[in-house]
């Protein structure tokens, strides 16, 4: 069923609500994370101190990070390079290519990796199709770029049906 492919394994308010100790206990070695409206607002060029600290904590725990974004190389490079974070831009999520490239570059297995993002139709669907553990976060900003606004409308409909079918109990801000 299509709706099941949109169902995240976890739903949290933000990346800062993800229990890094729990990830380590579950033998997670890598994180594939979206950038825009997951780590920072879609129009913020650089990481906040809180995001820098979160990334440092992952590194300190031995968890690798790759940012996988549908945005262009210039945008993603500008954000990731100062942080020393590996990235894949123009990813075309939810297709498989970027997810598979990320785990190959980090030399990890799907079972050792979580996918974090703010969108059902790109991050969660892409991760679930390949069997990753997926974590949906509330978007950092209430505004979106043009294509994301379209996705959000579709997302609201999917969440409505998921809620009606009893698939989810958590409330969203959508």
Q: Where are the domains of the chain?
A: 2-164
Q: What's the pTM value of the predicted model, to 2 decimals?
A: 0.86
Judge contact between 137 and 118, C-beta under 8 A.
Answer: yes
- Fold topology of 2-164: Rossmann fold (3.40.50)
pLDDT of residue 47: 97
Least trusted range by pLDDT, from 30-39, 96-105, 140-149: 140-149
The three-state secondary structure class of 47 is: coil
Q: Write out pLDDT tens, residues 79-94.
A: 999 999 999 999 999 9
Count how many residues are written for the chain: 174
Q: How far apart are CA 67 and CA 55, in angstroms?
A: 11
Q: Write out pLDDT tens, residues 153-174.
A: 778 777 777 777 777 766 654 4
């Amino acid at each position: 069923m299509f709706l099941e492919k949109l169902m995240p394994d976890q739903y949290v308010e933000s990346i800062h609500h993800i229990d890094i100790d729990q990830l380590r206990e579950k033998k997670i070695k890598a994180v594939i994370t979206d950038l825009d409206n997951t780590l920072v607002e879609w129009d913020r060029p650089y990481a906040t101190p809180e995001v820098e600290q979160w990334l440092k904590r992952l590194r300190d725990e031995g968890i690798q990070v790759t940012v996988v974004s549908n945005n262009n190389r210039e945008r993603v490079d500008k954000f990731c390079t100062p942080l020393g974070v590996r990235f894949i831009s123009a990813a075309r999520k939810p297709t498989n290519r970027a997810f598979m490239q990320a785990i190959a570059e980090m030399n990890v297995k799907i079972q050792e990796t979580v996918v974090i993002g703010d969108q059902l139709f790109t991050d969660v669907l892409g991760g679930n199709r390949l069997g990753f553990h997926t974590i949906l976060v509330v978007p950092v900003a209430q505004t979106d770029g043009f294509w994301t606004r379209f996705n959000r409308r579709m997302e609201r409909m999917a969440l409505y049906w998921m809620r009606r079918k009893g698939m989810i109990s958590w409330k969203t801000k959508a």
